[in-house]
């Protein structure tokens, strides 16, 4: 009986604490993430340590000439102060670079003994983890007054989209075609199936077990299966259908094929013969239009067609 009462009390305390946690979470929702802004420092406010001067009180001018000179100096200082206040609204960065404007005061880091007391503390690893590196650039632009969607420029403001550089994959040369990467990406179904139509098996991206054809290199036109992929070096290990040898080739020399094409042509040695290649080239030439014949047809239409319409009873020979 005592154990039962103890368990009952524990459950009661646990349920009450859980209720309080839910109540606090509902009363204090998680604040939304705000955009990071790094304000532009127009002028640093250096906190210099107080240094006692030997002569704390200004010397009283002893002669009338020194009094006049002291008054003139005060007037010049007052005039320069008023000029600085009038020009405080102007952008100082137009004439003075920020690095020179916000430099350390003289006497701290230009002597033999370097005093780094004005410098901030060194950053720690937690400071870098708090803000991602890619956010710093946008935060600095916001601090300079830039707003997203607002045009930039002094005379003709335009909203120019930045050019985002994409990382070139390893193994892809400067003259290589990036469109070859699209053939290795997973493909979506082109159109819905009709009643009674079967789904043709399509390649779903380059991976282990995919059927491919090598399009360049020492193993050109050979079919094989993917045994492994090295994305860091843009290489793939292919087990050839003919011979079963495992070779390493570039990812950009591969073409994904369907299982039907692989079954039909993977071990067909006749397509690799010289006669087969020549017949294939001849068929390609037959399908391509003859430019010379097309030129003759154009000349015939321009020169003889109008005359045939004027004299239809006369026989006309086609120019050979």
CA atoms of 236 and 227, how far apart (whole Å):
8
Q: Quick count: other Cβ atoms within 10 Å of Cβ 240?
A: 16
Average pLDDT over every residue of 87-104? 56
Please indicate, yes or no, if residue 227 is contained in any of the structural domains: yes
pTM: 0.34
CATH of the domain at 254: 2.30.30.30
Instruction: Give the pairing of strands 254-256 and 211-214.
Output: antiparallel
Token code pair at residue 201:
């098996």
φ/ψ of residue 246, rounded to 5: -95, 120
Cβ-proximal residues to 138 (8 Å cutoff; 6+ apart), any chain: 35, 36
CA-based nearest residue to 40, from 93, 112, 4, 1:
93
Q: What is the pLDDT of residue 97?
A: 57
CA atoms of 65 and 145, how far apart (whole Å):
52
CB 169 within 8 A of CB 182: no
Q: What is the pLDDT of residue 307?
A: 54
- Work out the pLDDT band at 196, boundaries 50, 70, 90: low
Please indicate, yes or no, if residue 68 is contained in any of the structural domains: no
Please indicate, yes or no, if residue 59 is contained in any of the structural domains: no
Please indicate, yes or no, if residue 237 is contained in any of the structural domains: yes
CA-based nearest residue to 238, from 202, 270, 261, 210:
210
Q: What is the Cα gyration radius of the chain?
A: 41
pLDDT, tens digit, 9 for 90 and up, residues 254-306 = 888 888 888 888 888 777 666 666 666 666 665 555 666 676 666 666 655 55
Query: Above 60 in pLDDT, residue 231?
Result: yes
Q: What is the pLDDT of residue 239?
A: 93
Cβ-proximal residues to 137 (8 Å cutoff; 6+ apart), any chain: none
Q: Any idea which of 69-78, 222-231, 280-289, 310-319 has the lowest mean pLDDT?
A: 310-319
- The length of the chain in residues reads 320
Please indicate, yes or no, if residue 123 is contained in any of the structural domains: no
CB 203 within 8 A of CB 262: no
Q: Any idea which of 70-84, 259-273, 303-317 has the lowest mean pLDDT?
A: 303-317
- The total of structural domains in the chain comes to 1
Query: Above 50 in pLDDT, residue 57?
Result: no
Please indicate, yes or no, if residue 246 is contained in any of the structural domains: yes
pLDDT, tens digit, 9 for 90 and up, residues 150-179 = 777 777 677 777 777 776 666 666 666 666
As a whole-number percent, the residues of the chain with pLDDT over 70 amount to 44
Q: What is the pLDDT of residue 275?
A: 60
Highest mean pLDDT: which of 22-26, 184-188, 296-300, 302-306?
Answer: 296-300
Please indicate, yes or no, if residue 70 is contained in any of the structural domains: no
- Work out the pLDDT band at 227, boundaries 50, 70, 90: very high
Q: What is the pLDDT of residue 226?
A: 92
pLDDT, tens digit, 9 for 90 and up, residues 114-133 = 777 777 778 788 877 777 77
- Work out the pLDDT band at 217, boundaries 50, 70, 90: confident
Please indicate, yes or no, if residue 137 is contained in any of the structural domains: no
Query: What is the pLDDT of the chain when averaged over all its residues?
Result: 69
Domain span holding position 240: 210-284
Distances in whole angstroms, Cα of residue 167 to Cα of each of 68, 172, 181: 71, 11, 13
Q: What is the pLDDT of residue 173?
A: 67
Query: Above 90 in pLDDT, residue 225?
Result: yes
């Amino acid at each position: 009986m005592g154990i039962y009462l103890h368990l009952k009390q524990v459950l009661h305390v646990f349920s009450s604490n859980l209720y309080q946690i839910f109540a606090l979470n509902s009363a204090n929702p998680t604040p939304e993430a705000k955009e990071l802004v790094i304000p532009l420092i127009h002028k640093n406010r250096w906190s210099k340590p107080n240094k006692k001067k030997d002569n704390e009180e200004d010397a009283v001018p002893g002669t009338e000439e020194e009094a006049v000179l002291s008054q003139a100096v005060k007037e010049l200082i007052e005039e320069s102060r008023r000029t600085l206040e009038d020009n405080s609204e102007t952008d100082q960065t137009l004439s003075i670079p920020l690095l020179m404007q916000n430099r350390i005061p003289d006497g701290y880091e230009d002597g033999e003994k370097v005093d780094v007391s004005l410098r901030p503390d060194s950053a720690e690893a937690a400071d870098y983890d708090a803000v991602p590196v890619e956010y710093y650039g946008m935060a600095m632009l916001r601090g300079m007054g830039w707003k997203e969607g607002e045009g930039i420029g002094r005379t003709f403001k335009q909203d120019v989209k930045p050019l985002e550089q994409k990382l070139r994959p390893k193994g892809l040369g400067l003259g290589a075609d990036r469109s070859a990467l699209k053939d290795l990406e997973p493909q979506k179904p082109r159109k819905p199936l009709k009643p009674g139509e079967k789904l043709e098996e399509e390649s779903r991206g380059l991976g282990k077990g995919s059927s491919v054809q090598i399009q360049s290199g020492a193993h050109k036109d050979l079919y094989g299966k993917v045994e492994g992929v090295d994305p860091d070096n843009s290489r793939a290990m292919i087990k050839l259908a003919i011979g079963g040898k495992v070779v390493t080739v570039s990812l950009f020399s591969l073409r994904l094929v369907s299982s039907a094409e692989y079954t039909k042509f993977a071990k067909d040695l006749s397509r690799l013969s010289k006669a087969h290649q020549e017949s294939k080239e001849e068929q390609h030439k037959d399908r391509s239009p003859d430019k010379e014949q097309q030129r003759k047809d154009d000349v015939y239409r321009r020169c003889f067609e109008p005359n045939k319409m004027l004299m239809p009873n006369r026989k006309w020979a086609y120019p050979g």
